[in-house]
Amino acid sequence: MAEDAKAARAAHWAKTRNLTYIILALWALFGIIIPWFAGSLNSMTFLGFPLGYYFCVQGSLIAFVALIWIQNWRQDSIDDEFGHEE
Amino acid sequence: MASDTTSGRRSRFIDNLGKVYLLYTLGFLAFFVLMAILETLGASAQLIGIGFLLFTIGIYAVIGWLSRTAEVDAYYVAGREVPALYNGMATAADWMSGASFVALAGGVYFGGYPYLGYIIGWTGGYVLVNSLMAPYLRKFGCYTVPDFIGTRYGGNAARLIAVVILVVASFTYVTAQINATGTIAAQTLGISFEVGVWLGLLGIFICSMLGGMRGVTWTQVAQYIVLIIAYLVPIIWMSNKQGFGIIPHFSYGEGVFRILELEAQYGLNPPAEPMAGLSVLTTPQTASGDAMSSWKMISLAICMMAGTASLPHILMRYFTTPSVRSARRSVGWSLVFIFLLYFSAPALATLTKLQLLDPNLATSIIGKPFAEVANLEWIKHWASVGMLAVADQNGDGILQLNEFFMRPDIVVLATPEIAGLPYVISGLVAAGGLAAAMSTADGLLLAIANALSHDLYYKIVDPSASTRRRLTVARILLVFIGAGGAAVAALKLTGILGAVAWAFDFACSGLFFPLVLGVWWKRANAAGAIAGMVGGFGAGSLYLYLVYSKTMTPWLGIDDIRFGIIGMAVSLVAMVVVSLATKEPSKEIQDMVDEVRVPSGKAILSAGH
């Protein structure tokens, strides 16, 4: 394989990896950290719900859907940048 | 020529998916209206129930028949031509089992905050599927999950162990689904549970035998439409009755606070005399803030999330899309469709709880005279089948909160009756529950049969087998595994949800790290993967045995539904240590990993491999 093709491949993977790390960090925030502290968050209210409860039944779920679509949107543009269109 | 006309018909079908399923949805709604009219004309409850089951199963059978195939690619991966949106719906049906449909809201009703770990886990897992697994496995071009393990790590040993873990995890899961199918069929058709189980199995075979993955895909889309309508209609109906607006999801916060008030008023006390198999509400609706309940919630969520990302019947759905990009997009759609049910379940649990507890509502029973409650139609109906009980244990003539016993599983099925909705809604809910259980059972049976036929029979036992022979073996295995599942289900070993959680724990103990590190860590080698699978699966199973048989007390609150925590920890350590202690994988394998990370270009494994 030519050297620049190899470098492009490495750059593509580096960007993909960094995006994945960011998504996983946000996943941990909504999937682990916030649900853990649901009890203390319940002293606040949001849309008429206790806040901690709200995250466990709705807020985190909305965040998960958003995370996947945002990741795919960013990943598509990384792939396009390196010529991996459909 | 014959194959030309078949492929012509097929591509016309793919182009017109939107129209086909729109017509189907309208047809189903028209059938619902027809049944509602029949009810007002005096049709019996049983007739309506039978109508719903026969109508929906009939449609699945037609789809299964039309999707029959003799091609390997169509049988194993639906010809890799399923558009992202429809694959999302099929995955959602594949995913949402009888347990999600029937038992989840009931679990939330009785289980309170720690139980919400299921809600977080079964949705958050898809972020892991999307970022760590689906696009890479699609690029790989495998037919089954063990196919990936076997090719990435090399050698039959790794492949074989992956097959064993897949079979254990999926089989645990499928018996629960066949059980749910049997329960619903038995209740609606008025037949015995054992007959219901075998009847349900017949329906499952019709969807999966002839068309393999292709048949299962198109019936699962149809099943998703039925199950989501059946789940949302009662919730919307109740919400309007109770004044929470057209949809309750964003406005039932007030109801949560009302329940907190009622909990304080009635007191959450254990019953004077517990009843086997039935529950009393003792867990508060929301989190209290102590570290142990937080840990219980999070440890459950972690097991369910990692399990989601390791369960083969889900991962293999992403092998059916045309490209890597569409695999990712279909994960996005999957979670959208799953989200619709999962953010509704807590709403349903809250509204049902209010129906029963709030003295301001006509349907409430707590605090009412005992004789009056015991005479209600729905109480008598469910008590007669042993799913519910009321007992005036303190003898004051009033039904207290801790004198009302119910099996958590029936909350969804009984809700239409509790809320006084017409019977046509109960028929709809039964059809939805059946669709959920059947679609998951299809996917699981196919995952097991495909792994055994492709990985064990074709790749290990007889690599020279012809296409015809391979597909015949796959179908015979399907029948045997299905029959085995039904035989075990007929023994009624566990409740619906217990077995489901175990499947996730088995899958994440044995497969999560070997799958993730196969893509994300080039240094991972065959010895490491084998150590990770055997170590994780072995440690997890042993821990399950010790805790379940009460030989040891659970360590740090890690009980039998959370044993994946132990399995995964052992799996990760074993895999990393053994990989580093042994030789790094060959240059070819490392190049293969590089190639998997590139989203375009040819798949690693060719079609028909």
Minimal Cβ distance to B289: which of A35, A40, A58: A40
**Which pLDDT does position B280 carry in this prediction?**
78
B156 three-state secondary structure? helix
Tell whether A78 lies on the interface with B, counting CB pairs under 8 A: no
Minimal Cβ distance to B130: which of A40, A56, A68: A68
A77 three-state secondary structure? helix
**Which pLDDT does position B3 carry in this prediction?**
44
What are the E-state strand segments in B292-381?
A: none
Summarised one tens digit per residue, pLDDT across range B349-375 is 888 888 888 777 777 788 788 877 878
**Which pLDDT does position B6 carry in this prediction?**
53
In chain B, where are the structural domains located?
Answer: 2-355+417-596
* Chain A, nearest residue to B295 by Cα: A36
pTM, two decimal places: 0.88
User: Does position A1 have pLDDT exceeding 60, yes or no?
Assistant: no
**Which pLDDT does position B481 carry in this prediction?**
86
**Which pLDDT does position B123 carry in this prediction?**
93
**Which pLDDT does position B4 carry in this prediction?**
43
Q: Which of residues 40-59 of A touch B (CB under 8 A)?
A: 40, 42, 45-50, 52-54, 56-58
B28–chain A nearest CA distance, Å? 28
B127 three-state secondary structure? helix
- Between B500 and A64, name the one with better pLDDT: A64
Tell whether B254 lies on the interface with A, counting CB pairs under 8 A: yes
**Which pLDDT does position B495 carry in this prediction?**
55
**Which pLDDT does position B213 carry in this prediction?**
84
**Which pLDDT does position B346 carry in this prediction?**
86
Question: Which of B325, B334, B521 to substitute to test the interface with A, most A CBs within 10 Å?
Answer: B325
A32 vs B302: CB contact, 8 Å cut-off? yes
Structure tokens at B566: 């132990």
Cα-Cα-Cα-Cα dihedral of B259, B265, B269, B275, to 10°? -70
**Which pLDDT does position B5 carry in this prediction?**
47
Going by pLDDT thresholds of 50, 70 and 90, the confidence category of residue A29 is very high
Q: Which residues of A touch B298 (CB under 8 A)?
A: 32, 35-36
Q: Which of residues 510-569 of B touch A (CB under 8 A)?
A: none
DSSP notation for B164-178: HHHHHHHHHHHHHHH
A57 vs B597: CB contact, 8 Å cut-off? no
Minimal Cβ distance to A35: which of B132, B301, B343: B301
Q: Which residues of B touch A50 (CB under 8 A)?
A: 253, 256-257, 286
DSSP notation for B423-461: HHHHHHHHHHHHHHHHHHHHHHHHHHHHIIIIIIIIIII
Cα-Cα-Cα-Cα dihedral of B50, B53, B55, B59, to 10°? -160
Tell whether B346 lies on the interface with A, counting CB pairs under 8 A: yes
Q: Which parts of chain B sit beneath pLDDT 70? A: 1-11, 287, 289, 492-498, 607-608
Burial B172-210 (b: 16+ CB within 10 A, else e): bbbbbbbbbbbbbbbbbbeeeeeebbbbbbebbbbbbbb
**Which pLDDT does position B289 carry in this prediction?**
67
Question: Which of B286, B330, B587 to substitute to test the interface with A, most A CBs within 10 Å?
Answer: B286
Q: Which residues of A touch B123 (CB under 8 A)?
A: 60-61, 64-65
Q: What distance in Å separates the CA atoms of residue B395 and residue B392, rounded to the nearest whole number?
A: 5
**Which pLDDT does position B534 carry in this prediction?**
94
Question: Which of A15, A21, A68 to substitute to test the interface with B, most B CBs within 10 Å?
Answer: A68
Q: Which residues of A touch B285 (CB under 8 A)?
A: 53
Q: Is B2-355+417-596 a domain of CATH 3.40.50.720?
A: no
Q: Which residues of A touch B342 (CB under 8 A)?
A: 61
Tell whether B309 lies on the interface with A, counting CB pairs under 8 A: no
**Which pLDDT does position B1 carry in this prediction?**
34
